Amino acid sequence: MSMFDQYLARRYRTTVRPRPEEYKIKDNVAIVGIGATEFSRDSGRSECQLACEAIKAAADDAGLKIEEIDGLVKFAMDYTDEMHIVSSLGIPRLNYFGECGWGGGASCATILHAATAVAAGAAKYVVCYRGMNERSGRRYGRIPGVEQVMVSPNDHYGSIMPYGFATPPSWVAMFATRYMHEFGATSDQLASVCIVLRENACRNPKAMFYGKPLTLEDYRAARMIVEPLRLFDCCVDTDGAVAIIVTSTERAKNLKQRPAILLGATQGIATQGEMMTSVYRPRISGIPESWYAGQELWRVSGITPKDVDVVQFYDAFSPLIPMQLEEYGFCGVGEGAAFCEGGDRIRAGGEVPCNTSGGHLSEAYIHGMNLIAEAVRQIRGTSTSQVKDAELSLVTGGLGVPTSALLLRR
């Protein structure tokens, strides 16, 4: 049975669990520092400056000197480069660096790559970051005015751009249409997701939508962006940066913060995929990459979804939360939208508290890195929508592209 058939039949079961010594990341690596700039619509600063400010803040948060950073993992999509970052911050040397691809799918992957280096002894303190002027600078989905006939840069773009299938909301909308059709999901159920996340943002003074509550009437009255997605189904384009510092659990004992210890970090690519437009698969009402990343995460960590206390799902668009509730095993196939209806089950006091900082929809869109910072705050007990006694904190990476996931514990 092929992997895709297993996905469709959901028969994938882990029969062989790795011996603990084989998976060296579990319990041995921790996130010890988080830092961020303010989130805004116009930072007025370079992306490199934003990244440096976030990295400095993360080092201060951890109680580390800049000189102690010896590893760095960046987004392939980030416009800054490690040479510039190192020179600007005055980092004396790096002995480990790399980058992770596929847009927001890189978020938890940067932590996996950092953790791998730490667990293998290749680096001691690895910083992962994302800095972007996504609102004032180059916004995704904005096609620059093309005055001359242009050939698509690759076969994938050449298969979608001639039809005007050009922007991220449209790509997710294509999955959403089919999802809503197959499972009878409604836009009001998606509204519940948006409203709960906005409630969380309204408790988070750093959120872009702090102090701006959202009602069902507001949601329904907002303009369509790409039908069936409305304005508030889409994340908030943001200028800002977030940095995360990873080291060993042993070294974490000498640092300032309660460490968020890694139980597992995974990546996932599934077959027959395209970047955000995997419409040729047997089923498009789900996200197999997320399912694979989740299955691997549960396998290496030995944890099951019901043990998880709080989740930060990658939410560039609202339908991705019900879909991930299904793919990560918090509810059955096709039940995600109903799970979100009314919002009680995904609120801070509910069964699966989701995106407690407001997420990409209402806090900020820093390509998944602000979600990781919030997952760490939940472990530290410092979230503005703190889940009481949270011990297990899940965060997921961008999906529809090769994805990643991360599970943290106290």
Partner 1 sequence: MVMEYNPAIPLLRPHIDLDNQGFWEAVKQHKLIFQKCKDCGLLVHRPRPMCPRCNSTEKEWAPSSGKGTIYSWVNFVYANAAYPGIKVPYLVVVVEMEEGVRMLSNMYDSKKEDIHIGMPVEVVFDDIADDLTLPKFKRREAETKVIR
Task: Supply the angle between the helices 320-327 and 288-301 in degrees, to the nearest 10.
Answer: 40
3-class DSSP state of 148: coil
**Does 178 help bind partner 1 (rule: CB under 8 A)?**
yes
Number of residues that bind partner 1 (CB under 8 A): 45
Nearer Cβ to partner 1, position 101 or 162?
162
Nearer Cβ to partner 1, position 99 or 274?
274
State which of residues 192, 204, 266, 277 lies at the interface with partner 1 (CB under 8 A).
Answer: 277
User: With contact defined as beta carbons under 8 Å apart, do 289 and 146 qualify?
Assistant: no
Nearer Cβ to partner 1, position 288 or 397?
288
User: With contact defined as beta carbons under 8 Å apart, do 168 and 141 qualify?
Assistant: yes
**Does 174 help bind partner 1 (rule: CB under 8 A)?**
yes
Nearer Cβ to partner 1, position 147 or 389?
147
- Give the active site residue among 96, 179, 328, 365: 365
Rounded to a whole number of angstroms, the minimum distance from the CB of residue 43 to partner 1 is 21
**Does 95 help bind partner 1 (rule: CB under 8 A)?**
no
Looking at residues 39 to 68 of the shown chain, list those that interact with partner 1 (rule: CB under 8 A).
Answer: none
Q: Would you state the structure tokens that stand for residue 11, as one six-digit string?
A: 């028969």
- Strands 71-75, 260-268: parallel, antiparallel or unpaired by DSSP? unpaired
Burial readout 111-123 (b: 16 or more C-beta within 10 A, e: otherwise): bbbbbbbbbeeeb
**Does 272 help bind partner 1 (rule: CB under 8 A)?**
yes
Nearer Cβ to partner 1, position 9 or 146?
146
Q: What is the CB-side half-sphere exposure of residue 360 using CA atoms within 13 A?
A: 27
Locate tokens 């730490």: which residue?
A: 118
Distance in angstroms (rounded) separating the CA atoms of residues 343 and 194: 9
CA angle 342, 285, 159 (to 5 degrees): 130
219 in catalytic set: no
- Give the active site residue among 23, 219, 314, 328: 314
**Sheet arrangement for strand 403-409:** 96-100, 71-75, 126-133, 239-248, 29-36, 260-268, 403-409, 392-396, 310-312
**Amino acid sitting at position 84:** H
Rounded to a whole number of angstroms, the minimum distance from the CB of residue 47 to partner 1 is 22
Nearer Cβ to partner 1, position 90 or 145?
145
Rounded to a whole number of angstroms, the minimum distance from the CB of residue 301 to partner 1 is 32
Q: Would you state the structure tokens that stand for residue 10, as one six-digit string?
A: 């959901």
Q: Would you state the structure tokens that stand for residue 293, as one six-digit string?
A: 């990343």
**Does 284 help bind partner 1 (rule: CB under 8 A)?**
yes
CA nearest to 373, candidates 18, 62, 137: 62
Looking at residues 216 to 235 of the shown chain, list those that interact with partner 1 (rule: CB under 8 A).
Answer: 223-228
Rounded to a whole number of angstroms, the minimum distance from the CB of residue 77 to partner 1 is 20
Looking at residues 131 to 170 of the shown chain, list those that interact with partner 1 (rule: CB under 8 A).
Answer: 141-143, 145-155, 157-167, 169-170
3-class DSSP state of 342: coil
Locate tokens 């009680």: which residue?
A: 344
Rounded to a whole number of angstroms, the minimum distance from the CB of residue 175 to partner 1 is 8
Nearer Cβ to partner 1, position 168 or 240?
168
User: With contact defined as beta carbons under 8 Å apart, do 4 and 12 qualify?
Assistant: no
**Mask: binding to partner 1, 242-271, rule CB under 8 A, as x and -?**
-----------------------------x
**Does 184 help bind partner 1 (rule: CB under 8 A)?**
no
Q: What is the CB-side half-sphere exposure of residue 167 using CA atoms within 13 A?
A: 14
280 in catalytic set: no
**Does 279 help bind partner 1 (rule: CB under 8 A)?**
yes
Looking at residues 293 to 332 of the shown chain, list those that interact with partner 1 (rule: CB under 8 A).
Answer: none
Catalytic positions, written as ranges = 314, 365
Which residues make up the interface to partner 1 (CB under 8 A)? 141-143, 145-155, 157-167, 169-170, 173-175, 177-178, 181, 223-228, 271-272, 277, 279-280, 284
